[in-house]
Structure 1
Amino acid sequence: MKAPEMTDELKNGLKALKMRASMDPNRFCKKNDRDGFPKYFQMRTTVANPADFYHSRIPKKQRKRTIVEELLVDSEFRRYNQRKYSEIMAEKAANSAGKKFRKKKKFRN
């Protein structure tokens, strides 16, 4: 197997795979030990079974080219990310407000 050429699209897909544990809180994913990207890997295309044509296939209009595009369209994933982002920002704002107050108090003494 030869090493594939690293494009921006491949890098984004690999980043999404590395962060898959934080995308779905109900699913357990093994933690990645590597810091960078793997040198050798393969990308695959999923081909639908002809027997599943009417009930379990994804229509062409809903198919996306990459994992990142699929995640950006997924409404549940976006809702979860927005909620987590707002929680983190509120926590940071609360922590920074306390730090400012303590700094001002120190300067007065």
Structure 2
Amino acid sequence: MNTEYVSKSRFKAKALELLRQVEATGEVVIVTDKGRPTVEVRRYKADKRSPLERLMGSVIELADPFEPVGDDDWLDTVVEIEEVHFMPLDVATAIESTRLPGEHFSP
């Protein structure tokens, strides 16, 4: 499979032609900006597998999934929160904010 490199300005001028070329041949087009690759254009390939099917076989190591996690392991991932502010919200405001366009709320 060939890969074609084109500048942004050439892609802009020939976008439809390049897209048809990718669609017809499956060839990849790399769009560059000042000589550096920035965008890759390739034919769309639908993946009809479910998310679980896509993940199947992706686990490299599963030593002991039911082993308790130690306190030291959690301490590395804890993010401290200095202060949290909550704003009171009355029920009418909450209901009004969830209404659909054209709906009216009367308490």
TM-score range, shorter chain: under 0.3
Structure label with greater radius of gyration: 2
Higher strand share: 2
Q: TM-score, normalised by structure 2?
A: 0.19
Q: TM-score, normalised by structure 1?
A: 0.19
Higher helix share: 1
- Bigger relative contact order, structure 1 or 2 (CA pairs below 8 A, ≥6 apart): 1
